[in-house]
Chain A
Amino acid sequence: MASTAITAGAEPVFHLEEEHAHAEGGSTMLGFWLYLMSDCLIFAMLFAAFGVLGGNYAAGPAPKDLFDLGLVAVNTTMLLLSSITYGFAMLTMDKGRVGATQSWLAVTMLFGLAFLSIELYEFAHMIHEGATPQRSAFLSSFFTLVGTHGLHVTFGIVWMVTLMVQVARHGLIEANRRRLMCLSMFWHFLDVVWIGVFTFVYLMGTLR
């Protein structure tokens, strides 16, 4: 895309693609994607730790004694529903409908909160039964992996509330659209990580 301007008697001037003025936020999406990829590596480490330590129960409780797959299925449904409602928020954002976007964001947030509540209930239940992170290597790696995912969801919800306030104040301006698109990627990415969690931790743990 290098363009050449040749005027009579003057040296040809080459403008490389990089020299063009970039619109503000033009590279935000790629940058955010790179952040997500590095986040993916964090989760890969935690998955690897769980894969190695997941069978070391130290004569403590095993996944079969602890996991309630019905609860995990409900949790998975919550996250999946929040994914599709965030998609609806993006579609209404495209049409510039502020009220509808805010409503879908609120619905997404409620599903996210439901997910977190169920997860915290599960954690509390496990700890109450003596299955604390200190009990065995399996439980340490379990709480680290699933807890890190839960923390991400928590920060996603904080971010969502922030953006809802921003949209309420300034409307769907270009900057807010960009931020909402970043959060969209973040939120869908968390759902992708959860696929790994319910498959490797819960389902395969129960099979063990």
Chain B
Amino acid sequence: MSAHDHAGHDHAHGGAAHGSLKGYLIGFFLSVILTAIPFWLVMDGVIDNKQATAVIIMAFAAVQIVVHMIFFLHMNPASEGGWSMLALIFTVILVVIVLSGSLWVMYHLNANMMPGLHEMREMP
């Protein structure tokens, strides 16, 4: 808290810096590249292996989300005294639990609870 105003708070900055023209332009160009490559990979079928393509475009999405967070939403560990970063981390943890948990449980549910005709005949 180096920039104290007369009220002894730095809330005038709101914790959300507005960024600079340079920051916005860097973020924009990175986003364009990070968007264009996944579309190109899928639309032109550059990689034969679909699994590999899926992993790569997910990685691009993850990087682009971080780019947007930094350059457009101006996230940094110090904003709002660290509380917004803490809320973000908490949310990310919940999102990971919800997504991975749902997909994992439902995948196994499908695998175990929907026997094909073959297995059904063998059942007592």
Interface residues of A (CB under 8 A from B): 1, 20-23, 26-30, 33-34, 37, 40-41, 44-45, 47-49, 51-52, 69-70, 72-73, 76-77, 80, 83-84, 87-88, 90-91, 93-94, 178, 181, 185, 188-189, 191-192, 195-196, 198-200, 203-204, 206-207
Interface residues of B (CB under 8 A from A): 1, 7-9, 11-12, 14-16, 18-21, 24-25, 27-28, 31-32, 35, 38-39, 42-43, 50, 53-54, 57-58, 60-61, 64-65, 68-69, 72-73, 80, 83-84, 87-88, 90-91, 94-95, 98-99, 102-103, 106
- Asked if B98 and A44 sit within 8 Å, CB to CB, the answer is yes
- Asked if B80 and A30 sit within 8 Å, CB to CB, the answer is yes
In Å, the complex CA distance between A77 and B99 comes to 27
Q: Check A69/B39 contact, CB under 8 A, given A91-B21, A192-B68.
A: yes
- Asked if B64 and A195 sit within 8 Å, CB to CB, the answer is yes
Q: Check A203/B73 contact, CB under 8 A, given A20-B9, A33-B84, A52-B103.
A: no
In Å, the complex CA distance between A23 and B11 comes to 8
State which of B18, B28, B84 has its C-beta within 8 Å of the C-beta of A80.
Answer: B28
- A104 CB to closest chain B CB (Å) equals 11
Chain A hits for B7, CB < 8 A: 20-21, 23
* Subset of 18 A-B contacts with CB under 8 Å: A20-B7, A22-B11, A26-B9, A29-B80, A34-B87, A40-B91, A44-B98, A47-B99, A80-B35, A87-B19, A88-B21, A88-B24, A181-B14, A189-B73, A195-B61, A198-B35, A204-B58, A207-B53
